[in-house]
Amino acid sequence: MESRATELPSLWAVAFGASVVAGIAGYFLGTASTIGVFGTNTQQRVVSNSSGAQHEKGHDDSETDHDNASESDSEDSEDDQEVNGFEDSTEECKLVLVVRTDLGMTKGKIAAQCSHATLACYKTLLRQNSPILKRWEGYGQAKVAVQVKSEDELLILQAQAISLGICGQIIHDAGRTQIASGSATVLGVGPAPKSVVDQVTGHLKLL
């Protein structure tokens, strides 16, 4: 009985010592794994895969936008139109984006096409070194979205804008997502003094 009583505490001591050693060893092994002693750890691979997936998705989206933008810009028929500088005017300026609602574009698609139209108008005035850009930027780059229901309306409004010396850029979609290739989606009118732009788009309903 005495020998068994003596062995029992020693067994507990051995077990306790072994658990302490195992804990210390596990700590150092975990630390070594974290700092890369044993190669790339699992957590790093997961983060890399996740980041890669997000990057790949973002790349696909940006590639689609880039393709649409390129084709849209290339199909602008009035890139070289003469735009009135309105040097004698001190009136606040604005850009109006006329959107076709008959195409059934989603909100995201409309936003992308409006962005293309804004950039096309800006580049047109920039190429001509128009002083209207600085005035438009100084007044906060006002932009208004309105709606029409057909391509014919866009063409008529564009002709009116050009006749008044205002920039009028129609965007044609590349046709890679929702609508047919070459579809006229948005007309950008301006930037130009408000009173002049209103002669073209003042009667249209807001989008």
| Tens of pLDDT, residues 9-33 | 565 555 555 555 555 555 555 544 4
The pLDDT tens digits for 46-69 are: 232 333 333 333 333 333 444 444
Q: Report how far residue 1's alpha carbon sits from residue 148's, in angstroms, rounded to the nearest whole number.
A: 101
Contact residues for 141 (Cβ-Cβ < 8 A; gap 6+) = 95, 191
120 or 69, which is more confident?
120
> What is residue 187's three-state secondary structure?
strand
Neighbouring residues of 90: CB distance < 8 A, sequence distance ≥ 6: 135
CA–CA gap between residue 150 and residue 105 (Å, rounded): 13
Q: Bridge-partner residues for 122, per DSSP?
A: none
Percentage of the chain modeled with pLDDT above 90: 52
Strand, coil or helix: 67? helix
What is the rounded distance in angstroms from the CA atom of residue 203 to the CA atom of residue 207?
Answer: 13
